[in-house]
Amino acid sequence: KAGVTQTPRYLIKTRGQQVTLSCSPISGHRSVSWYQQTPGQGLQFLFEYFSETQRNKGNFPGRFSGRQFSNSRSEMNVSTLELGDSALYLCASSLGGNTDTQYFGPGTRLTVL
């Protein structure tokens, strides 16, 4: 069974630009969550989607947004990039129940110059 895939794996952008990251969940998984990992703040929850609906959102500014498509694939977008947005962005998928394990993808490494 294929795991969670994320594209692209690496991105370099400049301040003020916007970026879109993509996540394809494990087949059959309907929930996709996004996390930001930085050395200073650690792993922080961004948002979670289930059946195309955002069920939960972390404490991030509105520049961070996401969506989920009918095939459960998800994208997240960051507009007006800031230096502090440089991070590893991880997505995780699960079946969507409240005891289901979240399985993580390899991440997208975003560098903002």
Q: State the residues that interact with other proteins by CB under 8 A.
A: 31, 33, 35, 42-45, 48, 50, 55-56, 58, 90, 92, 94, 96-107
SS3 content of the chain, % helix, strand, coil (to 5): 5, 55, 45
Q: Which is nearer to other proteins, 39 or 62 (CB)?
A: 39
Q: Which is nearer to other proteins, 78 or 107 (CB)?
A: 107
- Dihedral sign of CA atoms 88, 93, 98, 100 in order: negative
In the complex, what is the shortest distance from the CB of residue 53 to other proteins, in angstroms, rounded to a whole number?
Answer: 11
Radius of gyration of the chain (CA): 13
Bridge partners, residue 88, by sequence: 37, 109
Q: Which is nearer to other proteins, 28 or 97 (CB)?
A: 97
